[in-house]
């Protein structure tokens, strides 16, 4: 470890332990130079590194200060007589801590929800934007209003036809990414006080939406191999007036689970029986490693009860914020929610991405992206098997870029998250994927970034941090890759709450 890194880690530990509070001014470069007997450059580089990690902030003509938020109030390895660490940060704070850390390029993004932006055809995209921009007329701002740009909706409709789930143009509504689509669907079919069914573990945005809109949630367990438990879902539908089910059918976040074709068909039939809408989140569906795209549940929907939400954010154009929903019988209700929420989706973005979808070489890009992600996941697995305790369990998903790791029961993933962050590593603690601290010994790792020595180091550091949280006896090599890793067991099957 370089000298400036050592200094940065020393300061990071002080901050993490709460011994330097948020908002405190750090010693001047001159002071540290004298105090540690080191060069000014070393101090500058240490401060720069801490700034990159989001731990400190510069204020012009004033100096460096400890940043608000990120790790404030988290104690690293608290002594036994101090108050215990887990409860000090709320789940909600950790969600934003994970999201905020994404903004700092200095942090190893194992906790990010996005693949690396290096994997996308930025030049072709920007060229498509310019080409479409030149043909935008004054009335586009009106014509691109919900349901959205017709050229774009035609391109999207073509994709549905190809995957065997044809949609009419009228049923496709363009949104600001999939998250807006999901939220609009929820608002379209519920009112405050209603009950909805969500997954456990689930994409944390579902938990946030339930809370913000004053809904009540029934949590349906997700098996990391076979996905949503339809038996439990049916009990819930029988017992409660469930207004909607929000679920991810392919490469679920965080588990990576997918429903089989048969199970999707059964899910749609079950919901039709209860006339309950499905809000289907399928943002990872295009990122399959097998021979063909797994169909969405929407492909089996004959009654227009499924609202199929997806986007280009994880497969083509991160940051462009373009998504859509094929909303079936709810198309008009969702369109009205869109008008009330953000009026419209940006016209130049709609036109630019329509142009790309038609002429940009999307299929070729997707083929390359799938191969890359599959390879990156393999590399990550090798690193995990070399550096993490053998007691760790996970199931390799058939697509996407997440690994959902079960750590030994005595590990607190929130503590691991906080400690890792002080080392410039972002991992997502399982806790944020449910309401009841259910996955306290799980972490989600992102394999969406090209492998680098820094990432290899990060996995090693994670291994060391886990060692300090575990008894030494437990640490040994993982079973060799030829031996199949066990799927996660019943610990992932919480009761409905």
User: Cα separation of 382 and 367, whole Å?
Assistant: 23
Least distance (Å) from its own copies to the CB of residue 131? 9
User: Cα separation of 402 and 64, whole Å?
Assistant: 36
Any contact of residue 117 with its own copies (CB under 8 A)?
Answer: yes
Any contact of residue 145 with its own copies (CB under 8 A)?
Answer: yes
Distances (CA, A) of 3 to 7, 43, 211, 460: 6, 9, 46, 20
- What DSSP string runs through 393-425? B----SBSSEEEEEPPTT--HHHHHHHHHHTTB
User: Cα separation of 34 and 39, whole Å?
Assistant: 9
Any contact of residue 105 with its own copies (CB under 8 A)?
Answer: yes
Q: Which is nearer to its own copies, 204 or 362 (CB)?
A: 204
Q: Give me the phi and psi of 41, to 5 degrees please.
A: -60, -40
Least distance (Å) from its own copies to the CB of residue 343? 5
Report the residue from 24, 34, 96, 450 that binds its own copies according to the rule CB under 8 A: 96
Stretch that binds its own copies, among 38-46, 291-299, 302-310, 316-324 (CB under 8 A): 316-324
Stretch that binds its own copies, among 12-20, 94-102, 267-275, 382-390 (CB under 8 A): 94-102
Q: Site residues for its own copies, window 51-70 (CB under 8 A)?
A: 69
Stretch that binds its own copies, among 40-48, 186-194, 376-384, 486-494 (CB under 8 A): 186-194
Chain position carrying tokens 């000298």? 3
Torsion over CA: 468, 473, 478, 480 (sign): positive
Least distance (Å) from its own copies to the CB of residue 331? 11
Report the residue from 23, 39, 166, 193 that binds its own copies according to the rule CB under 8 A: 193
Q: Give me the phi and psi of 171, to 5 degrees please.
A: -90, -5
Any contact of residue 144 with its own copies (CB under 8 A)?
Answer: yes
Q: Which is nearer to its own copies, 210 or 383 (CB)?
A: 210
Q: Which is nearer to its own copies, 35 or 92 (CB)?
A: 92
Helices (H), 117-229: 122-135, 140-143, 150-162, 177-189, 204-212
Least distance (Å) from its own copies to the CB of residue 148? 11
- Residue 294, both tokens: 């797994």
Q: Site residues for its own copies, window 230-289 (CB under 8 A)?
A: none
Q: Report how far Cα 4 is from the mean position of its chain's Cα atoms.
A: 32
Report the residue from 47, 320, 356, 394 that binds its own copies according to the rule CB under 8 A: 320
Chain position carrying tokens 């349901």? 147
Report the residue from 151, 153, 298, 321 that binds its own copies according to the rule CB under 8 A: 321
Least distance (Å) from its own copies to the CB of residue 465? 25
Torsion over CA: 241, 247, 172, 132 (sign): positive
Report the residue from 1, 61, 79, 138 that binds its own copies according to the rule CB under 8 A: 138
Beta strands 63-66 and 402-406: pairing type? unpaired
Least distance (Å) from its own copies to the CB of residue 6? 27
Beta-sheet strands, E only, within 447-492: none
Q: Which is nearer to its own copies, 365 or 393 (CB)?
A: 365
Report the residue from 187, 259, 405, 466 that binds its own copies according to the rule CB under 8 A: 187
Confirm if 185 and 325 have CB atoms less than 8 A apart.
yes
Q: Which residues have C-beta within 8 Å of that of residue 52, sequence separation ≥ 6?
A: 104, 105, 106, 107, 424
- What DSSP string runs through 48-64? HHHHHTTSEEEETTTEE
Q: Site residues for its own copies, window 330-359 (CB under 8 A)?
A: 332, 336-337, 339-349, 352
Q: Which is nearer to its own copies, 348 or 408 (CB)?
A: 348
Any contact of residue 438 with its own copies (CB under 8 A)?
Answer: no
Stretch that binds its own copies, among 122-130, 302-310, 385-393, 416-424 (CB under 8 A): 122-130
Q: Which is nearer to its own copies, 312 or 458 (CB)?
A: 312
Burial of 467 (0-12, 13-18, 19+ CB in 10 A): middle
Report the residue from 180, 219, 280, 281 that binds its own copies according to the rule CB under 8 A: 180
Tell me if residue 434 falls in helix, strand or coil.
Answer: coil
Stretch that binds its own copies, among 136-144, 262-270, 272-280, 423-431 (CB under 8 A): 136-144
User: Cα separation of 136 and 63, whole Å?
Assistant: 47
Least distance (Å) from its own copies to the CB of residue 319? 3
Report the residue from 54, 111, 148, 177 that binds its own copies according to the rule CB under 8 A: 177
Q: Give me the phi and psi of 221, to 5 degrees please.
A: -65, 145
Report the residue from 157, 209, 380, 384 that binds its own copies according to the rule CB under 8 A: 209
Confirm if 384 and 459 have CB atoms less than 8 A apart.
yes
- Residue 320, both tokens: 């462009």
Report the residue from 133, 166, 290, 479 that binds its own copies according to the rule CB under 8 A: 133
User: Cα separation of 475 and 497, whole Å?
Assistant: 35
| Residues forming the site for its own copies (CB under 8 A) | 69, 96, 99, 102-103, 105, 114, 116-118, 120, 122, 126, 129-130, 133-134, 136-145, 176-177, 179-180, 183, 187, 191-193, 205, 208-209, 212-214, 313, 318-322, 332, 336-337, 339-349, 352
């Amino acid at each position: 470890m370089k000298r400036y890194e050592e200094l940065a880690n020393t300061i990071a530990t002080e901050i993490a332990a709460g011994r330097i509070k948020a908002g405190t001014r750090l010693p001047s470069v001159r002071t540290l130079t004298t105090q540690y007997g080191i060069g000014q450059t070393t101090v500058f580089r240490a401060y720069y590194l801490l700034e990159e990690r989001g731990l400190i902030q510069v204020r012009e003509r004033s100096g460096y200060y400890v940043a608000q938020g990120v790790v404030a109030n988290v104690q690293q390895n608290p002594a036994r007589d101090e108050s215990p660490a887990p409860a000090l940060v709320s789940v909600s704070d950790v969600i934003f801590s994970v999201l905020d850390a994404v903004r700092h390029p200095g942090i190893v993004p194992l906790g990010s929800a996005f693949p690396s932006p290096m994997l996308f055809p930025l030049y072709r995209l920007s060229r498509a934007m310019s080409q479409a921009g030149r043909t935008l007329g004054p009335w586009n701002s009106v014509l691109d209003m919900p349901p959205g740009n017709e050229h774009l909706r035609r391109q999207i409709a073509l994709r549905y036809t190809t995957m065997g789930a044809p949609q009419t143009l009228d049923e496709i509504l363009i949104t600001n990414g999939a998250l807006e689509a999901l939220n609009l669907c929820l608002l379209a079919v519920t009112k405050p006080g209603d009950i909805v069914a969500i997954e456990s573990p689930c994409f944390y945005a579902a938990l946030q939406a339930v809370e913000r809109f004053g809904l009540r949630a029934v949590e349906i367990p997700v098996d990391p191999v076979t996905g949503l438990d339809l038996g439990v879902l049916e009990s819930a539908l029988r017992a409660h007036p469930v207004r909607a089910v929000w679920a991810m059918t392919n490469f679920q976040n965080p588990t990576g689970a997918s429903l089989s074709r048969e199970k999707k068909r059964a899910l749609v039939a079950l919901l039709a029986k209860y006339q309950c809408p499905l809000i289907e989140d399928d943002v990872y569906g295009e990122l399959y490693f097998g021979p063909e795209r797994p169909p969405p549940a929407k492909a089996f929907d004959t009654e227009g009860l499924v609202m199929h939400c997806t986007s280009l954010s994880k497969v083509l154009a991160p940051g462009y914020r373009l998504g859509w929903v094929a909303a079936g019988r709810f198309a008009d209700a969702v369109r009205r929610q869109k008008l009330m929420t953000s009026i419209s989706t940006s016209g130049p973005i709609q036109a630019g991405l329509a142009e790309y979808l038609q002429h940009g070489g999307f299929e070729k890009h997707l083929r390359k992206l799938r191969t890359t992600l599959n390879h990156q996941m393999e590399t990550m697995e090798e690193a995990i098997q070399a550096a993490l305790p053998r007691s760790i369990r996970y199931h390799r998903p058939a697509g996407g870029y997440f690994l959902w790791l079960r750590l030994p029961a005595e590990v607190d993933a929130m503590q691991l998250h906080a400690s890792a962050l002080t080392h410039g590593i972002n991992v997502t603690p399982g806790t944020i994927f449910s309401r009841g601290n259910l996955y306290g010994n799980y972490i989600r790792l992102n394999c969406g970034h090209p492998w680098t020595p820094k990432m290899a180091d990060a996995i090693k550091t994670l291994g060391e941090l886990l060692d300090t949280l575990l008894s030494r006896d437990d640490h040994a090599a993982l079973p060799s890759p030829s031996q199949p890793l066990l799927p996660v067991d019943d610990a992932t099957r919480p009761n409905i709450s």
